[in-house]
């Protein structure tokens, strides 16, 4: 199935939030929803399923508000990990191809998602213009060359297709992942202090091996430079009502926490 013309905003047209977006991100209901997510996140390490299950269900609903019904769409879940997002997208009828670079990540919380493929986001094993959508949640900072991921997304999307990209930017409160807050001192000094405080142990996400600094400004400039991609909207993932933050240089690198970029594929 391809997405119909009334589900994707035509190139050059102005983009407004979809119906229900404002209610989802602001007001008492939106604030209560945000605090619920925060409570679940506090237990993420010991009990990850409730947090990631909630996040995945919200993401699937958000995609339908922006890009129309997911049923029948062929969607790539790149960096799928144990498959929370894959299951949420499939629950809405999407034909999902889950891809991750690591079998260990696929089996992190049990059996890998059905049909999972071990593949590299910087060199996707897919034909050009073969997908209706690409979903990439929090994997960009785990790739050594994030710009190659962007060009691969551009390559595999059909004209009119959409992409959702999010990542934890380096200077955000959680930019160093389990090395936080030492990452704010820089990759080298931060790592040395982390090791000193943890009896010489290295963090799970080791800078230069499984984690790389990714900054909002350079990444947005690169996405906007791609001839086949058009940015639909950028926003902080966990407080989208404050989307103006992403437009403020320097401040956005610290205040965004997690950056979302919605894109669509246009004719190059």
CATH code (residue 169): 3.40.50.150
Which domain, by its residues, includes 68?
Answer: 51-176+211-265
Return the pLDDT at 33.
62
Contact indicator for 113, 82 with CB cutoff of 8 Å: yes
For 103-123, write each residue's pLDDT tens digit.
Answer: 888 887 778 889 999 999 999
**Is residue 19 in a domain?**
no
Residue whose entry in the numeric block shows the structure tokens 């997002």: 85
Contact indicator for 99, 122 with CB cutoff of 8 Å: no
Q: Confidence class of residue 8 from pLDDT cuts 50, 70 and 90?
A: very low
Window from 33-37, 57-61, 119-123, 229-233 with minimum mean pLDDT: 33-37
**Is residue 257 in a domain?**
yes
**Is residue 189 in a domain?**
no
Q: Confidence class of residue 55 from pLDDT cuts 50, 70 and 90?
A: confident
3-state helix, strand, coil in the chain (%, to 5): 40, 20, 40
Contact indicator for 203, 178 with CB cutoff of 8 Å: yes
Name the token pair of 254.
């610290």
**Is residue 135 in a domain?**
yes
Domain count, the chain: 1
CA 175, 261, 148, 7 dihedral sign is positive
Return the pLDDT at 16.
45
Contact indicator for 224, 264 with CB cutoff of 8 Å: no
Q: Confidence class of residue 219 from pLDDT cuts 50, 70 and 90?
A: very high
**Is residue 21 in a domain?**
no
* Radius of gyration (C-alpha) of the chain in whole angstroms: 18
Distance CA 8, CA 233 (A): 13
């Amino acid at each position: 199935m391809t997405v119909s013309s009334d589900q994707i905003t035509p190139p050059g047209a102005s983009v407004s939030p979809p119906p229900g977006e404002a209610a989802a991100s602001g007001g008492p209901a939106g604030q209560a929803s945000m605090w619920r997510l925060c409570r679940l996140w506090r237990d993420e390490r010991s009990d990850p399923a409730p947090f990631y299950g909630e996040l995945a269900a919200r993401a699937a609903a958000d995609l339908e508000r922006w890009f129309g019904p997911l049923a029948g769409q062929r969607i790539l879940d790149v960096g799928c990990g144990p498959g929370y997002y894959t299951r949420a997208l499939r629950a809405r009828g999407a034909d999902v191809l889950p891809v991750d670079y690591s079998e260990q990540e696929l089996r992190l919380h049990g059996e890998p998602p059905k049909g999972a493929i071990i593949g590299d986001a910087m060199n996707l094993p897919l034909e050009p213009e073969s997908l209706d959508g690409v979903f990439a949640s929090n994997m960009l900072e785990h790739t050594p060359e994030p710009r190659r991921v962007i060009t691969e997304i551009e390559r595999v999307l059909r004209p009119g297709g959409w992409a959702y990209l999010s990542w934890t930017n380096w200077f955000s409160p959680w930019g160093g992942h389990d090395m936080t807050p030492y990452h704010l001192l820089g990759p080298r000094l931060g790592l040395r202090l982390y090791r000193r405080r943890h009896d010489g142990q290295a963090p799970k996400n080791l800078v230069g091996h499984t984690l790389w600094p990714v900054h909002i400004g350079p990444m947005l400039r690169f996405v906007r430079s791609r001839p086949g991609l058009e940015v639909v909207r950028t926003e902080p993932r966990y407080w989208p009502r404050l989307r103006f933050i992403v437009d403020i240089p320097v401040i956005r690198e610290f205040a965004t926490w997690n950056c979302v970029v919605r894109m669509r594929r246009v004719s190059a």
